[in-house]
Amino acid sequence: MQHEFWHERWQQNQIGFHKQETNPFLQRYWPKLKTNPADRVFVPLCGKSNDLLWLRTLGHFVVGVELSPLAVASFFSENGLQPLVNNQGNFSSNEIDGLKILCGDFFALRPTDIGPIQAVYDRASLVALPPDMRVEYAMHLAALVPPKTQILMITFDYPQHEMPGPPFSVNRAEIDSLFGHWCDIELLASEDVLTHEAHFKQRGLSRLEENIYHLLVR
């Protein structure tokens, strides 16, 4: 899956994954992580998600990374925010008080780019990637975050043959394979969401669960 795929999705406004409202599973399960307000939170492949602002209201310094300059510009303009823009290595840094979005390739990130992270929020990162890139994603994330980092991860599980991704289906066995050797994994909840996601039913899905995981980096 090349960069051009995502640039085209944003340019053509094919962004069904974007939600205007704060993710309800984030609001419900983030407290399970027992983070401190001063903790620094990393949000990979963040798009223009308003979840960034919700995390910021808790006192966290939030660092997102997003490939699409259009998504980054839209986030700030749609929220009436004027970021300070600087070049930071391979990235364009767009920062306001308590929140920074790095525009560039997640796979080019170094730990020094995002700083000392205590928590990660992944709602639409892992499921946006095909299988080979999910392996690379997990390996690169492991290189970015220190031990004791907590990760709240939300995934989809559905019969993959019924619908081409993204979003892709990622079941528990794959979570264990990708993260089990460097994280402790707890399934917080599994929710049947097909009745609430009519567009997925229209695409032919017979089953759709969202699974919410708490991962603790060893």
Residue 103 confidence (pLDDT) above 60: yes
- For the chain, what is the mean pLDDT? 93
DSSP 124-191: SSGGGS-HHHHHHHHHHHHHHS-TT-EEEEEEEE--GGGS--SSPB--HHHHHHHHTTTEEEEEEEEE
Residue 6 confidence (pLDDT) above 70: no
Q: What is the mean pLDDT of residues 63-83?
A: 95
123 marked ligand binding residue: yes
Distance CA 65, CA 105 (A): 8
User: Containing domain of residue 106, as a range?
Assistant: 3-14+22-217
Domain count, the chain: 1
Write the CB contacts of 58 (distance below 8 Å, at least 6 apart in sequence).
30, 35, 37
66 marked ligand binding residue: yes
Q: What is the mean pLDDT of residues 94-110?
A: 97
pLDDT of residue 13: 64
Question: Can you give the pTM of this predicted structure?
Answer: 0.94
CATH code of residue 161: 3.40.50.150
What digits encode the pLDDT tens for the residues 11-59?
A: 666 555 556 789 999 999 999 999 999 999 999 999 999 999 999 999 9
Most confident of 124-128, 138-142, 200-204: 138-142
Residue 91 confidence (pLDDT) above 80: yes
pLDDT of residue 139: 98
Distance CA 105, CA 3 (A): 9
172 marked ligand binding residue: no
pLDDT of residue 3: 80
Share of the chain above pLDDT 70, in %: 94
pLDDT of residue 14: 58
56 marked ligand binding residue: no
Write the CB contacts of 31 (distance below 8 Å, at least 6 apart in sequence).
none
pLDDT of residue 107: 96
How sure is the predictor about 199, in pLDDT bands with cuts at 50, 70 and 90? confident
Whether the upstream peptide bond of residue 167 has omega within 30° of 0, thus cis, is yes
